[in-house]
């Protein structure tokens, strides 16, 4: 089947309302290689997410166990609470900028991330960044689901006893696998109901999770004899030569944590009532709530060090130290809500759209979500959170470098080359202005290769701490590895603009 090519913009102006654009009346797009109902622009009448919806989305996503592990992991690496909170706050202010820049296309055109990527990578080439993003999301989905299932296992074990002593299957107690599978099924059941169900879930989940974190803080402060001991734990790094080698890769890791969303945020902002809603919602939701959660996390982790003599960086393990049945039940519900909140929004929505973009005729949003769930299990993600070094430096550093590279190309194309002006029907039309060379923009591919090699080519691990050589994959690039996200974004942006100079297309 082929697309019905609509009249040119000069013959039939694309309807625009307060800076928001939708397809011209009568436009018919039927090429099922590039079109299905989930990829088409959201009509103006359905773009109704408000500032609160976006802020609640971020509160729900920020307040989860892995983001708690970020802050408490920094304390475990030797930072004091001030250094950890500073690192996380700075990272989230930095990552907010590309988040807002890529998010702009959502309310304006109503398009998801893989369709936006067609403008820079081509109709077929967009599958390259989309599949990278989908692969990362599948891994994150597995990580979150494993952590959530593990949390349920630990807390139920405290309530009923005997769970940890169950016979093992695949190296883990069979009761842990049951918790993991049930949690996995619950997540997919919610997302199967669609984006409107997600919006409603996030609206009430956000405040509940905040209350849960505050309850944990009050409990540990009470056991520590007040907040004083929580704040007195000294830094093992100081602010000198020992601090900076930990700070910079940690900063890149914190940025990398949400660099995934800095790409696919149009998947959510496409439902926005306008630019004001997405800008204010994200600005109020992301850096403020991540900083607040970081404060809660490091206070509680510091408190655990004061109470137990060791920094307990896993909130589930910490909550399991109580013998109060009500406290355990409350912690169990909080773990469920927090993990579902972030996992569905951050790690299922994006690959569902990305996989739909790969084969629109065969895969819709719901099918893509189910595939994500299966792949997330097959990756066997439980190894990635075994140590803070592996979690922060290896996993987040590598992911951040690749995703920063894609973000640089998207921002360069949309803002610097096209000045936010897109031909909406052409994003779905083979042979049009975004077809390039057989559907691939080779300049974008070249920029991605250059930025990606510079960003992750020097990836290295300490002896016995990770999968990379101590001297780096490409030794002379090792000094760049600690700045992977920034290097990838900056290099790909400069290369793409340089290759595209004088060839501006709208």
> Any residues with CB less than 8 A from the CB of 422 and at least 6 apart, and which?
21, 105, 109, 119, 414, 506
What is the pLDDT at residue 10? 37
CA 231 centroid distance within chain: 30
What is the pLDDT at residue 13? 47
CA dihedral 212→216→221→224, nearest 10 degrees, is 170
What is the pLDDT at residue 341? 75
What is the pLDDT at residue 7? 37
What is the pLDDT at residue 499? 95
Quote the pTM value: 0.81
Which region, left, alpha or beta, applies to residue 171 given φ > 0 means left and ψ of -120 to 50 means alpha? left
- What's the rounded Cα separation, in Å, for the pair 385 and 393? 11
Count the residues in the chain. 506
The pair of three-digit structure tokens given for residue 350, joined into one six-digit string:
């994006």
Exposure pattern of 22-54 as b/e (b: 16+ CB <10 Å)? bbbeebebebebbbbebbbbbebeebebbbebb
Q: Where do the DSSP E strands lie in 147-214?
A: 168-169, 172-173
The pair of three-digit structure tokens given for residue 29, joined into one six-digit string:
């797009």
CA 77 centroid distance within chain: 23
Q: Which residue from 97, 113, 101, 100 is spatially nearest to 411, judged by alpha carbons?
A: 101
The pair of three-digit structure tokens given for residue 419, joined into one six-digit string:
């000045």
- What's the rounded Cα separation, in Å, for the pair 373 and 141? 7
What is the pLDDT at residue 242? 82
What is the pLDDT at residue 227? 62
Distances (CA, A) of 188 to 136, 354, 485: 18, 17, 31
- What's the rounded Cα separation, in Å, for the pair 239 and 245? 11
- What's the rounded Cα separation, in Å, for the pair 293 and 282? 16
Q: What is the DSSP letter of 17?
A: E
Tens place of pLDDT per residue across the chain (506 aa): 333 333 333 334 455 566 788 888 878 887 888 998 889 999 998 898 999 889 888 877 777 777 777 776 787 778 877 888 888 889 999 989 999 999 999 999 999 999 999 999 999 999 999 888 888 888 778 888 887 888 788 778 777 776 767 787 767 788 888 888 888 888 878 777 766 666 666 666 767 777 877 887 888 888 777 666 556 667 778 787 888 888 888 887 788 778 778 888 999 999 999 999 999 999 998 888 888 888 887 777 777 777 777 767 677 777 777 777 777 777 777 777 777 777 777 788 778 888 888 888 888 878 888 888 888 888 776 665 555 556 555 666 677 788 889 999 999 999 999 999 999 999 999 999 999 999 999 999 999 999 999 998 888 777 766 677 778 789 899 888 878 888 999 999 999 999 997 665 54
């Amino acid at each position: 089947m082929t697309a019905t090519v609509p009249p040119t913009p000069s013959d039939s102006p694309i309807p625009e309302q307060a800076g928001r654009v939708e397809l011209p009346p009568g436009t018919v797009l039927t090429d099922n290689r590039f079109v299905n109902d989930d990829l088409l622009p959201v009509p103006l009448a359905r773009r109704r997410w408000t500032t609160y919806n976006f802020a609640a989305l971020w509160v729900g996503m920020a307040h989860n166990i892995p983001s708690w592990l970020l802050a408490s992991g920094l304390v475990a690496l030797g930072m004091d609470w001030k250094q950890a909170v500073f690192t996380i706050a700075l990272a989230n202010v930095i990552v907010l900028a590309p988040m807002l820049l890529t998010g702009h296309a959502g309310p304006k055109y109503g398009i998801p991330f893989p369709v936006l990527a067609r403008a820079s990578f081509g109709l077929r080439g967009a599958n390259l960044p989309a599949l990278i993003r989908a692969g990362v999301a599948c891994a994150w989905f597995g990580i979150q689901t494993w952590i959530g299932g593990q949390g349920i296992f630990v807390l139920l074990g405290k309530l009923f006893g005997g769970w940890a002593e169950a016979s093992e299957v695949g190296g883990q107690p069979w009761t842990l696998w049951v918790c993991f599978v049930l949690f996995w099924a619950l997540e997919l059941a919610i997302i199967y109901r669609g984006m409107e169900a997600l919006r409603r879930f996030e609206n009430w989940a956000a405040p509940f999770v905040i209350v849960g974190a505050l309850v944990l803080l009050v409990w540990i402060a009470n056991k520590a004899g007040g907040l004083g001991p929580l704040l007195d734990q000294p830094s093992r790094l100081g602010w000198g030569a020992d601090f900076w080698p930990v700070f910079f890769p940690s900063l890149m890791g914190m940025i990398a944590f949400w660099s995934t969303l800095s790409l696919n945020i149009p998947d959510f902002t496409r439902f926005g009532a306008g630019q004001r809603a997405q800008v204010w919602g994200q600005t109020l939701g992301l850096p403020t709530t991540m900083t607040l959660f970081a404060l809660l996390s490091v206070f509680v982790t510091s408190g655990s060090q004061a109470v137990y003599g060791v920094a307990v960086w896993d909130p589930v393990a910490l909550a399991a130290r109580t013998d109060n049945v009500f406290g355990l039940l409350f912690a169990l519900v909080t773990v469920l809500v927090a993990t579902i909140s972030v996992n569905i929004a951050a790690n299922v929505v994006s690959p569902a759209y990305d996989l739909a973009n790969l084969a629109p005729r065969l895969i819709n949003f719901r099918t893509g979500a189910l595939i994500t769930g299966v792949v997330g299990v097959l990756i066997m993600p439980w190894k990635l959170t075994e140590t803070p070094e592996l979690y922060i430096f290896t996993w987040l550093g590598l992911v951040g470098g690749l995703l920063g590279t894609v973000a640089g190309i998207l921002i360069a194309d949309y803002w610097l080359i096209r000045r936010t002006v897109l031909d909406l029907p052409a994003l779905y039309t083979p042979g049009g202005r975004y077809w390039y060379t057989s559907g691939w923009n080779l300049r974008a591919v070249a920029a991605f290769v250059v930025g990606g090699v510079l960003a992750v080519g020097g990836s290295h691990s300490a002896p016995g701490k990770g999968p990379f050589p101590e001297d780096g994959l490409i030794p002379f690039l090792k000094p760049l590895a600690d700045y992977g996200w920034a290097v990838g974004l900056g290099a790909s942006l400069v290369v793409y603009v340089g290759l595209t100079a004088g060839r501006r297309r709208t």
